[in-house]
Amino acid sequence: MNSAKFYFSLIYTSVLFILSIYLFNSRESDAKTRQANTSPKVDYILNYDYGENVNSDEEVDDSVAEDGIRIGKDGFSIQDSSCTPPGGMVFLKKHKSASSTLQTVAKNFCRYYSIPSESPPVGSVSGGYPGPFQPQFLGAPRHPKPLAISTHQVFNYEIEMDIFPENAFFLTSVREPFSLFRSMFEYFYRRWDSEAAVRNRKCGFTCWGAPYAHWLAEGPAESRVRFGAEISEYLDRLPKIFNKSDPWAFRAKNFQAFELGLDWTRDDKKYVNGKINELTQAFDLILLAEYFYESLVLLREKLCLPWTAMYARSRMVSKPYTKEPFTSSQTNTLKKFYAQDFQIYKYFNQTLQKKISAYGRARMSHDARKLRQMYALCDRQPKRCSFSRPQGRTHKGDPVDNSVVNASALIKYMEAHQGSCEWGAFAKLKNNQPTGCGQDEVLFPKV
Ligand SMILES: *[C@@H]1O[C@H](CO)[C@@H](O)[C@H](O)[C@H]1NC(C)=O
Ligand SMILES: *[C@@H]1O[C@H](CO)[C@@H](O)[C@H](O)[C@H]1NC(C)=O
Ligand SMILES: *[C@@H]1O[C@H](CO)[C@@H](O)[C@H](O)[C@H]1NC(C)=O
């Protein structure tokens, strides 16, 4: 390259870089203004607000060591040079807990180390969801000795600890319960205008609307379901309309604990503490959505991945919605209905804080900030964030089971675990009709 060309491309790259930082900043401050206008109360957002300690105008000065941290050429703190990657990955994808991003990272891990992953039999939930995970309810081809999974499932401690390799990495995330509640109410209920919208949704396998739409219908004169009610009406009426035996009732109570495999109807602290011990044994890392970048920094170290493999383009950014503050009686209702989740969240925040301290607070703050900048950059220039995989690892030749999932057994199992639904892919599959999901080709082969 001649020098004119070289200088031109140097300037070009710098301009792009500054532009991307500028765009990132302006988007951030837009988001902040919007947040300030619609939300009188501080609410946790998924991408934890680092506004105070990140000034994106200035790159972190990579050459200067602060507080004794040693900084490497890549701008991150110097990482341990020896690293033994886990032999598998069990990512329990929990709804509305920063889990789409983490799923990408889990998949990147599998790609990087050529580890085959199990797939959902219908839609995007696995293992008989909302029943506890059962390996026969995986998509074909499945592995009799599975190594990895990264889809929605209800954790089944005994079975998953047993069938996945001992050195598999067990990963999941939790989110602050008030914030998770708002997000899930919006996601499962509020964003749907009508029954027709949920009925006609392609491949809806997880019963959109339930149980909220059913519980919010009033009196025999009104129809069985009602869409469009406000979160405040729901919360004010929840103690009266709650019925723990209804399908999908766990969405109204201890939903995080439910997906983590707890009996969501039991609120005694002793029971929950016992389960927290079990989760601590089972999971190598339980991340917090509110400490997103710190969590990723800890995760990278355990997974022995390049930093760029920690990047996930955000896919599931929900439309902004108004967040009225909860009244004190609504707050109490939530504390009561999500008591297990509050207990779990508090506990795993403490364990996360300990892990951050062990990593080194100053080092963490540096690396989390650096990773956040990397995300901003990758959002603008995804190509800069590719990674190539090391050679030599393969799982070709591992035994596979190609038999198609037994759909009627799956439907029965879901029904037995409060997972029935009068619309969507569930109703179609129950009537032996194509579901509209990607798996139809396998479930309904053309002869
Ligand atoms: C609660 O739900 C179950 C299962 O759907 C139903 O059979 C029962 O009648 C409901 N109870 C009340 C009080 O509505
Ligand atoms: C997590 O725990 C720390 C230390 O106890 C506390 O300062 C912080 O507020 C907690 N974070 C959240 C989001 O609850
Ligand atoms: C599928 O499951 C149903 C219900 O559990 C059972 O009766 C049937 O025998 C199973 N079919 C096959 C092919 O295993």
Over the range 233-258, which residues count as b (16 or more CB within 10 Å of their CB) and which as e?
ebbeebeebeeeebbbbbbbbbbbbb
By most ligand atoms within 8 Å of CB, the mutation choice from 174, 353, 356 for ligand 2 is 353
What mean pLDDT value characterizes the chain?
Answer: 87
Q: Phi, psi at residue 337, to the nearest 5°?
A: -75, -25
The verdict on the CB of residue 322 being under 6 Å from ligand 1 is no
User: Is residue 415 lining ligand 1, measured as CB closer than 6 Å?
Assistant: no
170's enclosing H/E stretch is strand 168-174
Ligand nearest to the CA of 214: 1
Mutate to test the pocket of ligand 1, among 216, 246, 250, 418 (most ligand atoms within 8 A of CB): 246
Could you identify the residue written with the tokens 């710190």? 294
Per residue in 374-405, pLDDT (tens digit) is 999 999 988 888 888 887 778 888 999 999 99
Cα(250) to ligand 2 centroid in Å equals 26
Q: Which of 98, 161, 119 is nearest to 292 (CA)?
A: 98
If you ran DSSP here, which 8-state letter would residue 186 be given?
Answer: I
Helix (H, G, I), strand (E, B) or coil at 152: strand
Neighbouring C-beta atoms of residue 430, cutoff 10 Å: 19
Kindly state if the Cβ of 409 falls inside 6 Å of ligand 3. yes
pLDDT, residue 5, reads 60
The residues facing 71 across adjacent strands are 77
**Residue 176 near ligand 2, beta carbon < 6 Å:** yes
Per-residue pLDDT tens for 82-139?
999 999 999 999 999 989 999 999 999 999 999 999 999 999 999 999 999 999 999 9
Q: Is the CB of 246 under 6 A from ligand 1?
A: yes
Residue 76 has what DSSP assignment? Answer: S
**Ligand positioned closest to the Cα atom of 245:** 1
Report the predicted TM-score, pTM, of the whole model to 2 decimal places: 0.86
Of all residues in the chain, the percent with pLDDT exceeding 90 is 72
What is the C-alpha separation between 209 and 194, in angstroms, rounded? 9
The pLDDT assigned to 24 comes to 46
pLDDT class of 200 with cuts at 50, 70, 90: confident
Residue nearest to atom 6 of ligand 3 (CA): 409
Q: Is the CB of 245 under 6 A from ligand 1?
A: yes
- Whether 353 is in the pocket of ligand 2, judged by its Cβ within 6 Å, is yes
- Do the Cβ atoms of 112 and 392 come closer than 8 Å? no
DSSP state of 401: B
Residue 313's pLDDT is what? 83
Q: For the residues 352-358, what does the mean pLDDT come to? A: 97
Q: Phi/psi of residue 154, each to 5°? A: -100, 125
Cβ of residue 243 lying under 6 Å from some atom of ligand 1? yes
Q: What are phi and psi for residue 287, nearest 5 degrees?
A: -90, 165
Q: Which ligand is nearest to the CA of 211?
A: 1
More confident site: 222 or 337 = 337
What are the residue boundaries of the structural domains of the chain, listed by start?
Answer: 1-38, 44-183+254-320+338-447
